[in-house]
Amino acid sequence: MGSKQHYKIKLREGADSCSWEEELKEKGIFFEKKEYFPEYIIYKIEKPSEDILKEISQRREISKIEVMHHYFLNFQTHSIEAQMPPFEKASVNKKYPVVGVLDNGIANIEMLSSWIYRDEKQYCPERQHPTHGNFVAGVILYGDELSDKKWIAGEKIKIYDAAIIPDFSLCQLEEDELLFRLRKAVEDHPWIKIWNLAISIRVAVDLERISEFGLLLDYLQEKYDIIICKSCGNGEFIKDKEEKGSILQGSDTIRSLVIASCNQEGEVSSFSLSGKGHKILEKPDIAMYGGDVFWDANGKRKVAGVYSFSPKGEIVSSFGTSFATARMTSLLGNILFWKENASALFLKAMVIQTASHGEKYFLGYGCPKDTDGIKKEYENSYVLEGYLLEEERITLAYRNGKILCTLASDIILDYHQEEDYVLCDIDLSFEKNGKKYEENNLFGKYDRLNNLKKYEIPIEEEVGEIEIIFSKRWRRDKYKVKDRGLSYCFIFQK
């Protein structure tokens, strides 16, 4: 199964694209002009000679030039002996939240079929082989029944099958086609608020730039007010977590909720990647159970797997951040049962607010509470959703000798990354008795601009009041735009 190698070229903003295209024609270089999303153009060219490649790469109007990667899926399962959970069919008289699964399809098997929603839209004209997507759907629906622990403890939800990936025994999928299909599926279904995306380009993230994959995910979430649950990616089985590699392209997305995998004890799984080494962002954000690969006392490798279904309806085992992501999608979907019109910012803030046992870089803020725990947290919290133009102040009462709050906010991004990527975010500061309170946040300081912040601040007094100041923070003064407001969701534990 061979395929041509292509390169992708991004011009700088303001570059003369017409003269650039004429030059490519003069050199006999075949190109395709790809609009990944509005005003973001990539030129896809067949691999040129080394001399031409060197010449092109030195041109001032070139923002970046690199290989156009192929996507491939390396997914394996193992048959096991386990008791089949009782099947539950969706009720025709009940309204269920719907989540989208962007994957390689879901099989029409008895235990899943009544929960799967499909329409006339088709994004994968090639033959499909629904292995990975089927496993993901099984975890979303039956993850608790097939696990030794109730991670979600909620109800079943409906799943839209957005099959975008073909059978890789027949064909390969280049990055531009993968991203086109992904974008089309989301744009055709803007009413779906939560999407599960457990695929990545198996190339480490750039230390300086967000990948086109990550950019597209950020763009789609900004435009449609949706949340994409994105797996942080799997690496080699490393005993020393400090030596793990970086997250993969696609997981370098600011707005997505990027999910790590933990084991049953709440420790990071040996294969779960992190954002270590990346200068723009820190990922993952949060964690869920995705299995583990470990070594016993005799040095023999053991697998603690996640259980789900094969395309034939058999119970099989696998592991990966994909299945931690599936659980997170199920958890978020369950919130829509009691808050149907929840914003993407509310969904992110709510699960982060309840997360615990985090470990920076490896598990994000940790694992969230189950469905009941999240609802109880909501009922015991002050929730403020607003639109910040410059600065706002609120005074809230705290108890238990601490402040516990989470801020999920919009941000301003420069998708072209000519200088920076995140240009503006919302920052929090605190005042007590009219004086600035020098907080000792257990989660550290937020030096990088980002859209997700959590604070746990011990205070000497058991009860009291604290003034909280919301303000816009710009990376550089020259970026400031007075009338550009930012949406936010703030959750404060009463």
> Is the pLDDT at 8 greater than 50, yes or no?
yes
* Angle, CA of 256, 185 and 151, to the nearest 5°: 45
pLDDT score at 386: 96
**Tens of pLDDT, residues 330-377:** 999 999 999 999 999 999 999 999 999 887 789 999 999 999 999 999
Q: Provide the angle, in degrees to the nearest 10, between the axes of the packed helices 212-224 and 175-188.
A: 10
227 and 359 in a common domain: yes
**Tens of pLDDT, residues 99-152:** 999 999 999 999 999 999 999 999 999 999 999 999 999 999 999 999 878 999
Strands 464-474 and 315-318: unpaired
CA 241 to chain centre: 21
pTM, full prediction? 0.95
230 and 336 in a common domain: yes
**Tens of pLDDT, residues 421-472:** 999 999 999 999 889 997 789 999 999 999 999 999 999 999 999 999 999 9
**Tens of pLDDT, residues 98-111:** 999 999 999 999 99
The span from the CA of 109 to the CA of 145, in Å, is 17
Boundaries of domain holding 98 = 78-379
Instruction: Give buried/exposed letters for 369-387 (b at 16+ CB in 10 A, else e).
Output: bbbeebbebbeebeebebe
SS3 258: strand
Radius of gyration for the chain, computed over Cα atoms and rounded to the nearest angstrom? 23
Instruction: Give buried/exposed letters for 187-216 (b at 16+ CB in 10 A, else e).
Output: eebeebbbbbbbbbbbbbbbeebbbbbbbb
DSSP for 460-475 reads SSSSEEEEEEEEEEES
pLDDT score at 240: 65
- In 298-344 the beta strands, taken as DSSP E runs, fall at 301-304, 306-309, 315-318
Q: What is the 8-class DSSP label of residue 205?
A: P
89 and 56 in a common domain: no
467 and 329 in a common domain: no
363 and 390 in a common domain: no
pLDDT score at 1: 46
**Tens of pLDDT, residues 237-263:** 666 666 667 888 999 999 999 999 999
Does residue 73 sit within a domain?
A: no
**Tens of pLDDT, residues 288-311:** 999 998 877 787 878 889 999 999
Last residue of a domain, one of 379, 405, 423: 379
The span from the CA of 10 to the CA of 406, in Å, is 37
